[in-house]
Amino acid sequence: MASSALVKLACAVILCVVVVAPHAEAAMNCGIVSSNVAQCISYLNGRMRAPSGPCCGGIKRLKSMASTPAARRVACGCLKSAAGTIKGIDFNKASGLPGRCGVSIPYAINPRTDCSRVN
């Protein structure tokens, strides 16, 4: 009887791993990136002199969420895409934004960034 319970427990654990593993990698997406940097647009367009608290909060959240190389590449691609489509973005401000918020990221927020090289 104990053997049967152990087999059931092992099957349940394996099922949980199979169900959860794909979602862990897919957690980072452009919707998440956009929602975390949306408060920064006014700063990046020059309408604000400094990034706001909510902007920096989003940058810090995004940094902590992008904890794997794959997630950082996704975040980079999303930021790169957004930077290329939003009119009036000052790319010097965009590249310096993480530093202004007290975080460091391994790539520049710029449409020319090669996100495939991000680790």
pLDDT of 112 higher than 90: no
Structure tokens at 45: 């367009």
Q: Is residue 10 part of a domain?
A: no
* Stated pTM of the model: 0.73
pLDDT, position 25: 47
Rg (CA), the chain: 19
Q: Is residue 14 part of a domain?
A: no
Tens of pLDDT, residue by residue over 48-70, are 999 999 999 999 999 999 999 99
Residue 20 lies in a domain: no
**pLDDT value, residue 85:** 84
User: In this structure, what token pair is assigned to residue 93?
Assistant: 């401000």
How far apart are alpha carbons 100 and 106 in whole angstroms?
15
pLDDT tens per residue, range 5-40: 333 433 333 333 333 334 444 589 999 999 999 999
pLDDT tens digits, 66-82: 999 999 999 999 998 88
**Which CATH number does the domain housing residue 83 bear?**
1.10.110.10
Distance CA 40, CA 56 (A): 8
Q: What is the pLDDT of residue 26?
A: 52
Question: What is the mean predicted confidence (pLDDT) over 73-101?
Answer: 91
Kindly tell me the burial class for residue 28, based on how many C-beta atoms sit within 10 Å of its own C-beta (0-12, 13-18, 19 or more): buried
- The domain in which residue 107 lies consists of 29-117
Number of domains in the chain: 1
